[in-house]
Amino acid sequence: MASTMLSLPCTSSSASLSMHQLNKGKVKLGSSDSSICINNDRNSPFTKIKSFGRISMTVATNVSRFEGVTMAPPDPILGVSEAFKADTHEMKLNLGVGAYRTEELQPYVLKVVKKAENLMLERGENKEYLPIEGLAAFNKVTAELLFGTDNPVIQKQRVATVQGLSGTGSLRLAAALIERYFPGAKVLISSPTWGNHKNIFNDARVPWSEYRYYDPKTVGLDFEGMIADIKAAPEGSFVLLHGCAHNPTGIDPTPEQWKQIADVIQEKNHIPFFDVAYQGFASGSLDEDAASVRLFAARGIELLVAQSYSKNLGLYSERIGAMNIVCSSADAAARVKSQLKRIARPMYSNPPIHGARIVANVVGDPGLFSEWKAEMEMMAGRIKNVRQKLFDSLSAKDKSGKDWSFILKQIGMFSFTGLNKAQSDNMTNKWHVYMTKDGRISLAGLSLAKCEYLADAIFDSYHNVS
């Protein structure tokens, strides 16, 4: 019980106190122990006052109804940014959050996005509510971008597409659908994976387990372990796959390995569930980065795909993405879409319009679409350049025989350095390099000018911290 106590020395068996000061409380004098009990409600369970030889006054306040709510731990990625902001060191680097930066390490708004927004202003478009499933023009172009305009799944209307709150919200929609219509089905998640994947399925009460993916000995793909774990999973499991630029490792299966993964998933009657957060941003090619998804669709496999435009269009704060579910028939797709809408209605009612219009304008206009592809190639190219420079710097400094070529073999925004927690802590505490504790760094937050400095930090942490 939270309370405030005032104690006064007792000089006699009686005392005179102002009733106004006591907030019209009830006063009881006890001659035997010289006590005064002041209580606005003598029957209140929250206040009990007793004193021997002193006059005591207790003013009680109710305990919060939220007393049982514990403090949540800080987010492992967003917490890195907060620590980075508080650091005043001139060479500090924020390699935690996956957000593209210019060579000057400043946020970048794509030129094509500004043009699309200007078009919206010129048209004087309103801010009316969207339908539950989102902007129709967005849903059309985003499915075509993912599967290809001429893909049979598009032509036969076998794709249920619903605009979601970026990748996270789209994944959460699908998780709710799984919990409702596939009760007890397990989702297989790569080890390691993006930190929010497990949170999403936990929150939706969908059981999950991990399949082997990363091999620390080779700093590469544990393909045999991956295949073995997918084979061992209960038939009909959902297998969460990163369409391209695996987060956090940057390690992707080869085209031939993707075929073998598809073989096993078909054999076990599993349902592939793709997370596509980097289409076009990984390799610079929209088609190349969608090849894994299109491979499965071409086999006639029913599948789920979550999309995000945070990275490839730089629309981080617009929260624009989509959930696509490929079904065996147009009728099944219509029913699935109706249930996705039913789930979305009590969750957030309908999605925001601004980002959806940007995507619809850019992807739907041939001129803007060409400009976007050029800008994506530029962004992907800058990341490839810093990846090469970091490799060159480490190779020049390290004469121990350590092979750093895995940096070049990885793809996309991230590099999995292989540093452990203690070594990652040294990167931050000594070198002011902020990163996640699993050793992942975002190369999008690195400039060519700071590659040498980062190489020094990695070299020191790898060789001098056990």
For residue 27, pLDDT over 50 is answered with no
Q: 78-108+378-464 has which CATH code?
A: 3.90.1150.10
Whether 275 sits among the annotated catalytic residues: the reply is yes
Catalytic residue of the set 222, 229, 252, 275: 275
Pick the CATH number of 129-364 from 3.30.43.10, 3.40.640.10, 3.30.300.30, 3.40.50.720: 3.40.640.10
Tokens of 313: 């269009």
Task: Give pLDDT, residue 58.
Answer: 59
Asked about 311 being catalytic, the answer comes back as yes
Catalytic hit among 194, 208, 372, 431? 194
Between residues 42 and 133, which one has the greater pLDDT?
133
Instruction: Tell me which of 313 and 29 has the higher pLDDT.
Output: 313
| pLDDT at residue 11, rounded to an integer | 42
How do the domains of the chain map onto residue ranges? 2-61, 78-108+378-464, 129-364
Catalytic residue among 208, 229, 311, 404: 311
Q: What are phi and psi of 76, to 5 degrees?
A: -65, -25
At 203 the three-state DSSP class reads helix
What pTM was computed for the model?
Answer: 0.84
Q: Provide the Cα torsion 44, 45, 47, 52; round to 10°.
A: 110
pLDDT tens-digit series, residues 333-360: 999 999 999 999 999 999 999 999 999 9
Decide whether 78-108+378-464 matches 129-364 in CATH topology. no
Which 3 state secondary structure label does DSSP give 182?
coil
Cα–Cα distance measured from residue 272 to residue 177, given in angstroms and rounded to the nearest whole number: 15
> How far is C-alpha 142 from the geometric centre of its chain's CA atoms?
21
CA distances to 32, 196, 339, 340 from 173, in Å: 70, 14, 10, 7
